[in-house]
Structure 1
Amino acid sequence: MVHQLAAVDQRAKIGKNVTVEPFTTIAGDVEIGEGTWIGSNVTIMDGARIGKNCRIFPGTVISAIPQDLKFDGEETQVIIGDRTTVRECVTINRGTKALGYTKIGEDCLIMATVHIAHDCVLGDHVIIVNGSALAGHVEVGDYTVMGGLSAVHQFGKIGKHVMISGGTLVRKDIPPYVKVAREPMNYAGINSVGLRRRGFTNDKIFEIQKIYRAVYQMKMNVSQASSYIEKEMLPTAERDEILEFIRNSPRGIVKGYGTGKE
């Protein structure tokens, strides 16, 4: 299944039923899981670990060295989970000694011309739309959707089930289950449509709305809102996840629209 015009190093570990189209280059320290399709003119460099049944489209470069002046040639990786699709001309840089790898989860869709920098970690079912860019050390939670032409500041943290409007400049951390939009970026409500699609009940969505009403609409700062939520609302997995994210956000969370407070 490897085209005769592809250049595949004999040391590369290629699984069963992998297709490699012409003019693709695969280095020696590479592992590709069974059933994966690699399009033409793809470059897969040392350190790539690609899962099963993935699709890698033409022009993509995976596991090039980081665009980081501190990188000193250390052996690091790019890890891509099963069933993930990487569209045309995406660049995914491998990690540095800070973390050791860049990781993309399972069932993700990375659309054309996206850049994912060193030491980023993406969860499962993440969608990143065309032309977006993640700087180094960014974390993205499961089921997050990042609109086209968006950009995330280095060390940024994005929670699960987040919806980011196209063209957004993400300078602050985004807690789970919310939408963000506008410039500068602001909280724009709960990602209720996405949550319903993923099986969240109306009661659970209302609970999440109530939590964020305390954070963004009750004229409290973040510390006061966190204390209020902990004292006044029953503990649930979602409540505790939101509180943990807020309290462990070194950059601070996104502001509320029109409030001027963080």
Structure 2
Amino acid sequence: MRIHPTAIIEDGARLHESVTVGPYSIVESGAVIGEGCRLDSCVRIYANTRLGAENRVCHGTTLGSEPQDLSFTPDKARPLVIGDRNHFKEGVNISCGIKSEDGTRIGDDNYWMAFSHAGHDCIVGDRNIFANTATLAGHVEVGDRVFLSGQVAVHQFCRIGSYAMVAGVTGVAQDVPPFALADGHRARMLGLNVVGLRRNGFSQEQRKRIKEVYRLVFRSGLRLAEALVRAEHEYPGPETEQIVQFIQSSRRGLISFA
């Protein structure tokens, strides 16, 4: 274990012997830091934070800090649980949980650019990219391989489906369905995230299936429930199932189609 002499490791913190801690960083009592993690300078890891293996935490990042919720008191704190191989760039802030027993949860292989933020009780999947100052309010759910561009702001309780992309300076006030490309002062669906789908190995047949499902949902003039039934019947496949399940479970409704 390599710990800079200016770093503070409180009694009760648990660090794997392979962990590196840089100057002026603080790891509070109760935090758990997994194998191969690297904490750069001026990092603060708050109590109730759990980091898996090989996470990189850059200068000034704070993980597990008090949520920005006026009802918060220390006894209400819930965990921040982080998986493996995440990269947190400078100034990233992720809050601990407060409302749910599982707290805030971050998966594996996510890349958080400078000053991005996830609020309390967010659930984030794997291999997502959050560009500079991308912000998730509390209770936001993000699937896998999502790209949130710079200065995107996601309203609390919204969901971002897997393989979606949201353009820069976009306010997201409703759910963004899987595979979609969204943009606008208030996000609207422009079409499919075609580049992202190609990069992630989706075949032409799969991309066509997704396109036809969304054509039924947004362009056919059918009632939503009828459109979803027809989509499952006419375009069966895992992508269709994912879209239908996402839409049926939406609580805030979907963004509109431009």
TM range (shorter): over 0.9
Contact 2:78–2:100 (CA<8 Å) still a contact in 1?
Answer: no
1:82 partner letter: D
TM-score normalised by L of structure 1: 0.94
Counterpart in the other structure of 1:55: 56
For 1:130, what is the secondary structure of its paired residue? coil
For 1:255, what is the secondary structure of its paired residue? coil
Q: Is 2:198 aligned against 1:202?
A: no
Structure 1 runs (4+) greater than 3 angstroms displaced: none
- Show the 5 A alignment for 1:250-261: 250-257=251-258
Q: For 1:64 and 1:185, how far apart are their aligned partners in 2?
A: 29
2:39 partner letter: I
Q: For 1:184 and 1:121, how far apart are their aligned partners in 2?
A: 22
1:97 partner letter: K
The Cα of 1:115 is off from its aligned counterpart by 1.6
- Show the 5 A alignment for 1:171-190: 171-190=173-192
The Cα of 1:229 is off from its aligned counterpart by 1.3
| 1:207 to 1:115, Cα distance in 2 relative to 1, 3 A | same
Counterpart in the other structure of 1:36: 37
Query: 1:16-43 CA deviation, whole Å, 9 max, x = no partner?
Result: 3211001001101111111111010111
Counterpart in the other structure of 1:226: 228
| Gaps in structure 2 of 5+ consecutive residues | none
TM-score normalised by L of structure 2: 0.95
Counterpart in the other structure of 1:135: 137
The Cα of 1:219 is off from its aligned counterpart by 2.5
Counterpart in the other structure of 2:172: 170
What is the identity percentage for the equivalent residue pairs of Structure 1 and Structure 2? Answer: 37
Q: For 1:256 and 1:93, how far apart are their aligned partners in 2?
A: 32
Q: Is 2:21 aligned against 1:20?
A: yes
Q: For 1:33 and 1:182, how far apart are their aligned partners in 2?
A: 40
2:131 partner letter: V
| Gaps in structure 1 of 5+ consecutive residues | 258-262
The alignment of Structure 1 onto Structure 2 pairs a total of residues equal to: 256
**CA RMSD in angstroms, aligned pairs only:** 1.3
The Cα of 1:75 is off from its aligned counterpart by 4.1
Q: Is 2:245 aligned against 1:241?
A: no
Counterpart in the other structure of 2:80: 78
Q: For 1:102 and 1:152, how far apart are their aligned partners in 2?
A: 16
